[in-house]
Amino acid sequence: MKWLPNAVSISRLALAPLIGYLIWAGLAKGVANRELEWAFGLFVFSALTDWLDGFLARKLDAKSELGGKLDLWGDKILVGITLFALWVGGITPTIQHTDVLVGTFGIAVYVAFGLFFLLAIPVRDSLVTRLRAQASLKGISLSPTFAAKSKTAVIMGGMGVLLAGLATGISQLGLTGFAILVLGALMSIWTGLAYFKAANEAA
List domains and CATH numbers for the chain. 4-202 (1.20.120.1760)
- Measured between alpha carbons, how far is 190 from 69 in angstroms, rounded to an integer? 23
Higher pLDDT, 102 or 189: 189
* pLDDT > 80? residue 171: yes
- Measured between alpha carbons, how far is 171 from 195 in angstroms, rounded to an integer? 36
Could you tell me the pTM of the whole model? 0.84
Cβ count within 10 A of residue 138: 9
> Is 54 within 8 Å of 189 (Cβ atoms)?
no
The string of pLDDT tens digits covering residues 106-151 is: 677 777 888 899 899 989 988 998 898 888 888 887 777 788 888 9
Separation of CA 177 from chain center: 13
Residue type, 168: T
